[in-house]
Structure 1
Amino acid sequence: MSTDLLGLPLTTLDGTPTTLAELTGGGPALVVNVASRCGLTPQYAQLQELQQEYGSRGFTVVGVPCNQFAGQEPGTAEEIASFCSATYDVTFPLTAKLDVNGPHAHPLFQELTAVPDVAGEAGPVAWNFEKWLLSGTGDVVARFRPQTQPDSPEVRTAIEAQLTS
């Protein structure tokens, strides 16, 4: 799956065609489906902290807005960008809004949801702020459910292992 995953076509929030490889520059990445009006939205602050702490070492957070969970990301691309910048000073890349589950799920999430979490469970995205850690070669090395905080020891340990390998 690795190289293929990095080459899947995506679009940035501002409408620019891209791929995960271009967004991450070949380093490890944490792909997160995000939303602006969710009880978990404060995780943006921790995601930005991870980007600031590890970005100079080649790590990238990639936020993927999704409106499939109780309509909690209803905004336009401009509204999402403004919210993320003004509220959380987000500097990591955001893609255009995508479907992560169902018949119209983006191919990236068709692949990501096949990966099991620590409990051995694969399958659909449970809610906003589910996270997947990718190695620099695009292998999915960990899946963290929405309630797992981005700055938790298990997420940090997994990221640091990718930065030293």
Structure 2
Amino acid sequence: MFSLSLVVLLCACCLAKSMEVKYSYSNAVGGGSGTSFSTEGAGRITAVRVWEITGAYITGIQLKNSSHWSPLVGRKFGTALEMNLFDGETISQISGKYHSNYIYQVIFGTSRGRFLFAGQPIQRSFNFYPQHPKAELKMLSGRYNGNGITSLAAHWGAVSSNRTGSKKQ
């Protein structure tokens, strides 16, 4: 009887471990006015592009999944900044500044300790990161209007073992 109980307990532990949640959501920051967006794409994120008005706020964002850029969120106005990820590198953190009307700054941090800084470090701070240690950024969502990004949220998911469409260092 003890042996059977031990086997059942071990099986239950293994099932619980395999059902571990590897996806999470970082709640949106910002005012949330305007048109909603989602940058969902097929494959892993391999690059980030951000437009900023120097001394002001973020006007547009694009993510590259494998070899295809997502549709532009916001608009191409101001300075474009871009970061291409290396083989095996993922986006592991997003920080920045926001206020009720716009996202003023975004900082994309990678699993290799690199950062893309865009925008102005003013207003309230936010910090997005996955709840699971082996997760990466899968997509962004939020809102934008005719001037720029008004709200931003991050969606994280488990890292798959396949990596395509990225550069080697």
Q: Give 1 or 2: higher strand fraction.
A: 2
TM-score (norm 1): 0.26
Over alpha carbons, which structure has the higher Rg? 2
Q: Give 1 or 2: higher helix fraction.
A: 1
TM-score (norm 2): 0.26
